[in-house]
Structure 1
Amino acid sequence: MTVFSRLRDALNQVIVGQTALVDQLLVAGLAGGHLIIEGVPGTGKTLLVRTLARLIQADFHRIQLTPDILPADILGTSVFDANTARFNFQPGPIFTQILLADEINRTPPKTQAALLEAMQEQQVTLDGQTRPLSEFFWVIATQNSLEFEGTYPLPEAQLDRFLFKLVVNYPDSASEKQMLKNEFSGLGKPAHLALLHPLATVQELLECRQMLGQITVSDNLLDYLLNLVQRTRQHPDISLGASPRAAVVWLASSRAQAAMQGREFVTPDDVKAMALPLLRHRLLLRPEAQLEGLKVDTVIQNILAQVPVPR
């Protein structure tokens, strides 16, 4: 899809040295799945999302989540109007197309739970009234991988509603040098972002999502994907395996990956490419495996190596 090729090129000019991150972000956007982006401060997580919102002309709201944020600060509230003697609803920042929930693990579970209905059903129920959200409603959450004091880990029920968990690593030396050069031109600064030429529209991306139904998937490939899912539930180092929802969104993201590669069919490589970002936040290691220092990404790679690939 040429529109995603243009978006990839533009994002890689602003977010230097994070090509894998950019590709996975665009796959999630095409598949219509919410994201967690985890990384140390200063690696461009917020800049990436702001730039994408500008390039696709999407409504964008950012919430800096802290321990004192309440659900009403996200969803909105009814305010009494003395002139009309009526309550008027004041929508919160959730009524947008792209919602950046910055440092989501710094807000208490009660506030985290305010996003559950919105992420699953694209609606918000307040004061007994259900209010629909944008058709493109997309939550992108960030969290710091190093700080644990004063944080609230997301529950498994909420983690399962995120399509991917993307990990941002430090750029290599050449990329970081290019970042320093970009500072002279102002690339990535708010003033420059406002001047970026839009490359697509939200409606175009929604139309691309509709086209994913044309991406074919063979029975052998479905069996392969299901074997991988079942293996996560049987692995001796895993106490919580992938859910049926994970299998559904794994297929959807594999189709999106195939479309991004310009193919009309899904291959085993598409399924394997989605495994790490899709599973790393869904699988729960057994305590003894954690004590041994085993990493969930390593377990996922082992599962991929153990399950035979269809021919």
Structure 2
Amino acid sequence: MPPAAVTAPMRNYRGRFAPSPSGPLHFGSLVAAVGSYLDAKANKGSWLVRIEDIDTTRVVKNADTDILNTLQAYCLHWDESVVYQTKRLDLYQDVVSSLENQQCVYACHCSRKQIKALGGIYQGQCKNLGHPTHTGALRLTQCHATTEFNDLIQGDISVSSELAHEDYIIKRSDGLFAYQLVVVVDDIDQGINRIVRGADLIEPTARQISLFKQLNHPIPEFAHLPLAVAKPGFKLSKQNYAPAISKAEPKPALISAFEFLGLPTHANLMDLTTEQLIEWGINTFELKQVPQVAEIQISQ
């Protein structure tokens, strides 16, 4: 039997961790941070941190500072300056204006309630009504519908054709740019070529892939980590009041995150410093070890 092939590091790897500043990091967000960091460093790549504060209605004061301090306490050190989405509004508007000039954008006056009453998928009601683009929300005409893609952890993914073909909002009626737009624009601008994040974002990935195509940019690789859930279908989140992880005693949570990601942990790891733990994680981590499931139930 021939020896197993050795996976070569991905060249010029650029990854990122992109938390929203709506509260402190909890165990679920730690898993995403550690998974993305270890994969980047195992590939001798760069790991960036982006604060996704575009939805200003959800921002909690000083949460960004707390998140960054927590990452430092866990020895998860970023390689470039931290980027804030609220500092990049001109970039997003330039992209929206370019799409408008290509006649790929139209105004929509439909409310969420109206769309929900019609089945929850927008059916293009405003597409040919000619509403001025300075009124209502802006929708992108879907030109590159994506119904299937390959995930490096979860395997082949399919999404509904109806959802894939939906003309989705890129700028909200309140003037805020939509997450689906800004996350892709940011990844393009920062040169991100592998995205390691939680499995709650599997479905939106198809829409994001279609936007990479629309913007004529290479599509990054995607790897969706299992979600940490308190019970099936109930993920740990800031909205669900998941407890914050400790900055004073990072080692127990860090080792638990390693275990969650499929690393072969052992009792002697507690004898290491946090910095040594991270180094052990980098040397031990392989993406293929991560459980190929969408969620893992944990005890809190």
TM-score by length of 2: 0.29
Higher share in helix: 1
